[in-house]
């Protein structure tokens, strides 16, 4: 799974999450990327991102989203996605989340794109 455009990263993320493909998810991040797995919490680096995403996979999620590129300059782009996530809550009951993500993505030397900063809950105002 490689993203050939900035917005394609979000689409690939949803596909990998829906397939419970942790390795596919990890392949979408730079080694020192940051991720906000919950509002107010930011993790940095492969190990921390892997741990956070494995918790989401354990909840058996189903994600739908609409992605778009907001701005791009050279090898950097700002992308966003409106998303809905249905899953099993910690109590075993159905749960749902939604949001408007904000991500900074970077084109790699081989031409594909990876997340550098992934804030699925956007920026609180």
What pLDDT, in 10s, does the model give residues 48-92? 999 999 998 988 899 999 998 889 999 999 999 999 999 887 788
Structure confidence at residue 125 (pLDDT): 43
Taking the C-alpha atoms of residue 15 and residue 17, their distance in angstroms, rounded to an integer, is: 6
Q: What structural domains and CATH numbers belong to the chain?
A: 8-119 (3.10.450.50)
Q: Which pLDDT belongs to residue 124?
A: 60
Query: Is the pLDDT assigned to residue 26 strictly greater than 60?
Result: yes
What pLDDT does residue 115 have? 98
Cβ neighbourhood burial of 68 (10 Å; 0-12, 13-18, 19+): exposed
pLDDT at 14: 95
Query: What's the whole-number mean pLDDT along residues 18-47?
Result: 96
Mean pLDDT (the chain, rounded): 93
pLDDT tens readout for residues 95-106: 898 999 999 999
Looking at residue 3, what DSSP letter applies? B
Structure tokens at 67: 């992605």
Say what the pLDDT of residue 46 is: 96
């Amino acid at each position: 799974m490689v993203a050939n455009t900035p917005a394609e990263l979000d689409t690939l993320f949803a596909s990998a999450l829906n397939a419970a493909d942790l390795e596919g998810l990890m392949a979408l991040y730079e080694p020192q990327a940051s991720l906000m797995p919950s509002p107010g919490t930011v993790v940095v680096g492969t190990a921390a991102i892997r741990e956070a995403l494995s918790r989401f996979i354990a909840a058996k999620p189903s994600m739908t989203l609409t992605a778009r590129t907001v701005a791009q300059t050279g090898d950097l782009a700002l992308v966003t996605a409106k998303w809905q996530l249905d899953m099993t809550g910690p109590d075993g009951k159905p749960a749902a989340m939604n949001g408007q993500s904000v991500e900074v993505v970077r084109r790699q030397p081989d031409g594909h794109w990876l997340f550098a900063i992934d804030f699925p809950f956007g920026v609180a105002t």
